[in-house]
Amino acid sequence: MEPPVPLNDGTLFPWPAYGSGTALRGTDASAPVSTAIHAGFRHIDCAQMYMNEASVGRGVASAVAEDGVPRAALYITTKLLAVPPGATAADTLRASLREMHLEYVDLFLVHEPARHADLRGVWREMEECRALGLARSIGVSNFRVKDLEEILEEGASVPVINQIEFHPYVYKASQPVIAYMRERGILPTSYGGLTPLIRVKEGPLAPVLDEIAERLSRGAGQPITPAQVLQLWMKKKGVPYTTTTSQPERLKEYLAVASLPALSDVDEERIDSVGATAHHRFFVSTFST
């Protein structure tokens, strides 16, 4: 694991996070989650939208029982999908906690602004979740500048993070919202960071990442993969990331990034420039509007 990042509420954000979305969405995630914790991950990122919170909870319980990892050493994130009529965000979080057999989550995020007609009202309900002790910290995901501006009116609490799709193909388009966050102490965090390798396999970055990985491998005297190069790039940008895999060897690969040398400025700028030649966004099509 990388050194945890201090958040604006005084808590610490451990990373990388192991995500229970993408390929695990709607599946039994108990074995992958417990395997990830056994491998060394301490941050589990889940969501109501992923429809597998109960199995995430079983995976956490298994790791606590079998590996002796105390709950206090784990950081659990979940995300608000929507608030049903007559309910509150706290009601939905209590349901998630029952599913996961947890007393609290470390971080509760508004998953997507488009699902909420009254963002300021929802954010007040998120603040209530924190006040009730259901969530230690609160933040957002997929929020544009205008969404952040809306919830930050009237002296509201500042979100600790904004989790966004972040990789070289959206880096240029992400600059306005990242700059806004940096000015206000909101940590940008990434999902979809390996998109150039998984969803744009023949894109302009493919040969660049291969070449950098091969050169770094020779210099380090050990294999360094294109995925690790992308993770080093995100690390260089100061953007902690969530990743996922069902393969134990990949878990070790992703955690090993913490011990690799930093990406050079030259390689960082090369990835920036080549990534800017194409735009590929896959998860929230309205984000850049």
Q: What are 129's two structure tokens?
A: 């979740």
pLDDT band at 282 (very low <50, low <70, confident <90, very high): confident
Instruction: Specify the CATH number of the domain 2-195+238-246.
Output: 3.20.20.100
The yes-or-no answer on residue 50 being catalytic is yes
* CA separation for the pair 251, 19 (Å, rounded): 12
- Residues 143-172 pLDDT 10s: 999 999 999 987 899 999 999 999 999 999
Of all residues in the chain, the percent with pLDDT exceeding 70 is 98
pLDDT at 143: 97
Any binding-site annotation on 111? yes
Residue 38: which residues within 8 A CB-CB, separation 6 or more?
63, 66, 67
Please give the sequence-ordered ranges of beta strands (E in DSSP) within the chain, or none if there are none: 2-6, 12-15, 17-19, 43-45, 75-80, 105-110, 135-141, 161-165, 187-191, 242-243
- Residues 194-224 pLDDT 10s: 999 998 999 999 999 999 999 999 999 999 9
| Residue among 50, 171, 180, 241 flagged as catalytic | 50
- Residues 67-113 pLDDT 10s: 999 999 999 999 999 999 999 999 999 999 999 999 999 999 999 99
Alpha helices, H only, 11-118 = 30-39, 53-67, 89-100
pLDDT at 285: 57
Mutual angle of helices 53-67 and 89-100, in 10-degree steps: 50
pLDDT at 288: 56
pTM: 0.96
Closest by CA to 82, choosing from 49, 129, 104, is: 49
Boundaries of every domain in the chain = 2-195+238-246
Mean pLDDT confidence for 170-196: 97
- Residues 265-279 pLDDT 10s: 999 999 999 999 999
